[in-house]
Amino acid sequence: MTELLVKNACVIDPLRGINGDVMDIAIRDGKIVEEVSDAAEVVDARGMLTMPGGIDSHTHICGTKVNFGRYMSPEDMRAGRTPRRGPMHATSGYSVPTTYGNSYRYSVMGYTTLLEGAMAPLEARHTHEEFTYTPLQDTMANTLFDGNWAIMEAIRDGDIKRVAAIIAWTLSAVKGFGVKLTNPGGTEAWQWGKNVSCIRDPVPYFEVTPAEIIRSVVEANELLHLPHSVHLHCNNLGTPGNYTCTLGSMGLIPDLNPKRQTLYATHVQYHAYGGSGWKDFCSKSEPIANFVSMRPQIVIDMGQVMFGRTTTMTADGPMEFNLYRLHHDKWSNHDVELETGSGIIPVVYRRKNLVNSIMWSIGLELALLTKSPWQCLLTTDNPNGAPFVKYPEIIALLMSKRYRDAEFATVHPDTGSRVPLPAIERELDWNEIAVMTRAGAARALGIQDLGKGHLAPGADADIAIYPLKIDEVDPSAEYQKVIDGFSQTEYTIKRGRVVARRGECLVHGSNATFWVRPKVPENYDMSKDPDFIEKFERYYTVRMSNYPVQEEYLSRNRCIETEADL
Amino acid sequence: MIVKDAVCPFCGCLCDDIEVEVEGDRVVAVTNACELGTTKFMGEKRLKNPIQRVGDEWKDITYDEAIRYAADMLLSAERPLLYGWSGTHGEAQCVGVHMAELIHGVIDNTSSVCHGPSILAIQEVGHPGCTLGVVKNRADLVIYWGSNPIDAHPRHLSRYTRYAEGFFLDNAFRDRKVIVVDVRKTETANIADEFVQVRPGGDYAILSALRAIVQGKTETIPRTVAGVTREQLIRVANLCKSAKFGAVYFGLGLTMTPGKYKNIRNAIELVSELNRHTKFTISAMRGHYNVYGSNEVNTWMTGYPFGIDFSRGIAFYNPGETTAVDILARKECDAALIVGSDPAAHFPRRCLEHLAEIPIVQLDPYPNATTAFCNVQIPVAVTGIDAEGTAYRMDGVPIRTRRVLWSDYLSDEEVLSRMYALMQEAQQP
């Protein structure tokens, strides 16, 4: 038995409605408990801001395309390197750090749970291997279904239950957590070098539309009672005028789940563009934020862009090719048979570039204009908008109008006429930031009942203690203190152990991977479905028996079993 | 006992449909594998136990002794080299990286003398690729450039291209065109629809000519380029542009011939250009069954695919300086651990002269050319036969190899983990 007592913590725990109370937190064997014995080790938090460990609800940290981002970018690897030191291994990389680099830097910022935003089922084993080397965070993977042949065929046949059955089999096989659609239909079209323009455009050969894919998969997701909702990267990412497509996609979604949203729309900054081309490109954050505020069934994340160099990587292959034609830098693409694809290019977001300045504004506007912080979570779509180490700056921008104005004065001078940002007075408070970075993320991912995102007895003892006295710091004026405070915890506690202190990671942890196993009736078991098996063996290049990710790839793991309504 | 869907641990095709019949501790029959794979499954004469050179003799030693010898050798080395890795499973490769980091060594894999230049080109211009199944199901044009799969990757043609069934092709054999570009008429050229015979060293010029034609600058092309007629070049460019889905597979005939990484860069840029007209992909024909896995493991753990030097604590990558051949040729290396490869059969003479001077421990099931240079050789279980573990196919698809029989041999991972544990112990303050 190990016990730990965090004393005098100034706690913000939004899921329990605790907002700045000074209290003690008792921990036994990795869980929060009511009380511990006098023998417990004591961590004195001295009134410092203490929150549940950070949860990134959309980040790219592990897997085939992330690793290819490293592989093709020695210049990025050189841009951030540390030697082996104590229990910390050597790290490399700035925008796409090595797995240890990701894990240590997130841990130092107080993050204890990460959702990998996109995992191709065929290559899932790779994602899980990298999870093993991301030791200080619990991990889970969104699984890509955007161009899945069997699913598109089932949709064409109008068989939603079969869609659900295919998702159930695949998630169990690849040890996936959530259902991800990236440019639904577009990734399949891209295997012919084509794309879909918006949600009514049919996918070549399969003759289903993105709208049908979205609607059917959302329904199937709810039939399976998965913890997380469908996680959607809308069609048409990055194109001027795409906000109508985004609104159209969100408009497809009924409210099907009382506990959480029915749709999680990710990196919406990239989908909130007005204009008919780059010349009249402008922000459409207002209609998007208003739309979301009126619909509890939708949660979005920001996908904030920050200025500087980064690497873009997404399953959205055609979008990356379009970006390549704009930037003329190196371009990688990786289509995955019968399932999905991906693309990667390095980019630099510049203040002197009008489009980049507008993009920077839009992300902030979405967070400030969406009424409830529970509906707009803080992300950069790491590393697409910026590496996650920029989160503290984003927090400070959201908390300080003065900081925003100071930054706005440095961006492209025409930005003011294209965006509403300068007119927005709202400054988020500490509690709202806690919602956007942990509590809201836990609720949206459906993991609060698994003890994530809050500090109630029984919860996982994942805690971030920041060297910030919230009654002494005025975030509106002292934004540099906010940035510094969120950049480095005083203590990061993971499963009841202090894993990071003042920038140093202290232990080699072992994470847990969360995955789902929906139970389906016998007649919906795809592993026994003759048609499914026959097509699998004919058109995949891996045998069906070699496809599932074996137990060996899950060191510590939590399987979430659900009962499907089929 | 028959093991179905076994994974062949020979080449980068990583065929996973092999049937292996086992009697006791022997493989007696192999179905579906090519000749290369069958030979590997059937096994050669393995070393029975670790051996140590004493004077002109080999002495049998225990695993404990061998592992201790290796750990001491590496700990006392100033510039240790950990080389090979392409012929073992990913889990062992991970231990290797940790070991290199701990002792401030250099870790390099066989791609530095193989597709290393291809990787350098990718680091300059990227890589438009795809999994093999995308080609199988869609490609109506396949180009083998400087590669001869009939000899080196025998089932590439039947599983993924020429003889494979394809979802979007009514009659795949008839509808799929194959072009072979090579300096000589290979076996693969014999089954091609179009054979482009390039003068040795002329690939770069051919690629540039094709790029010009694809860009519509046909008038700039001379009557012949590197021995290929203008007419044929135009025909090939048109075949590419009119294909619905084209795939280029290149081998060492493009990577390791004059021009080296510039050739690959030019080929990738041709493919990127073709993507403005139709869909095109390009990929390397990786050799060892898990050479790509070694690149992957190195990359997620250190940031770089090969040639990583930890001598200054951080991971440092500078091919040409931090690669095995260079470190040996400069006589810097003072001890080497060789895992899953046979450098003595492939390295330049100057490197071998230095290898003969320094202590070497090799992990390999079989005696090979490198054995002659070893102080100690430790036989290990063969991944895919009596050990299991992860391998990455040439297109990046990871597959867990199966164990088809049980033996008393330790796996690479087990041997390396024990070595690493001893080294960690010794380094405790």
For B227-265, write each residue's pLDDT tens digit. 999 999 999 999 999 999 999 999 999 999 999 999 999
- Mean pLDDT, chain B, rounded, equals 97
Nearest residue, CB atoms, B399 vs list A93, A331, A542: A542
CATH 3.40.50.740 in chain B, residues? 45-114+289-427
pLDDT of residue B3: 97
pLDDT of residue B189: 97
Task: Give me the CATH topology for the region B45-114+289-427.
Answer: Rossmann fold (3.40.50)
B303:A336 CB<8 A: no
For the stretch B51-99, pLDDT in tens is 999 999 999 999 999 999 999 999 999 999 999 999 999 999 999 999 9
For the stretch B320-353, pLDDT in tens is 999 999 999 999 999 999 999 999 999 999 999 9
With contacts defined as CB-CB under 8 Å, which chain A residues touch B309? none
Share of chain B above pLDDT 70, in %: 100
From A250's Cα to the closest Cα of chain B, the distance in A is 31
pLDDT of residue B429: 67
With contacts defined as CB-CB under 8 Å, which chain A residues touch B102? 84
Task: Decide: pTM greater than 0.95.
Answer: yes
For the stretch A521-559, pLDDT in tens is 999 999 999 999 999 999 999 999 999 999 999 988 999
With contacts defined as CB-CB under 8 Å, which chain A residues touch B279? 191-193
Tokens coding B342: 């046979």
CATH 3.40.228.10 in chain B, residues? 116-284
pLDDT of residue B427: 86
Beta strands in B165-232 (DSSP E): 177-182, 194-197, 224-225, 228-229
The CATH number of the domain covering residues in B116-284: 3.40.228.10
Tokens coding A527: 């592993």
pLDDT of residue B177: 97
B128:A331 CB<8 A: yes
With contacts defined as CB-CB under 8 Å, which chain A residues touch B131? 122, 334-337, 541
- Which one, of A66, A78, A544, A73, lies nearest residue A314 by Cα? A66
- Given a contact cutoff of 8 angstroms between Cβ atoms, the answer to whether A343 and A118 are in contact is no
With contacts defined as CB-CB under 8 Å, which chain A residues touch B16? 542-543, 546
Candidates A542, A547, A553, partner chain B, best to mutate (most B CBs within 10 A): A542
From A116's Cα to the closest Cα of chain B, the distance in A is 15
From A352's Cα to the closest Cα of chain B, the distance in A is 26
Average pLDDT over residues A336-349: 96
- Which one, of A87, A91, A94, A134, lies nearest residue A115 by Cα? A134
Burial class (CB in 10 A: 0-12, 13-18, 19+), A259: exposed
Residue B211 CA, distance from chain mean position: 28
Task: Tell me the longest C-alpha to C-alpha distance in chain B.
Answer: 72
From A343's Cα to the closest Cα of chain B, the distance in A is 8
The CATH number of the domain covering residues in A52-449: 3.20.20.140
Candidates B124, B397, B402, B413, partner chain A, best to mutate (most A CBs within 10 A): B397
Share of chain A above pLDDT 70, in %: 100
For the stretch B158-199, pLDDT in tens is 999 999 999 999 999 999 999 999 999 999 999 999 999 999
Distance CA B332, CA A298 (A): 61
pLDDT of residue A211: 98
A64:B396 CB<8 A: yes
Specify the 3-state DSSP secondary structure of A176: coil
Query: Which residue in A has a C-alpha nearest to residue B7's C-alpha?
Result: A546
Q: Where are the domains of chain A?
A: 52-449
pLDDT of residue A206: 97
B400:A546 CB<8 A: yes
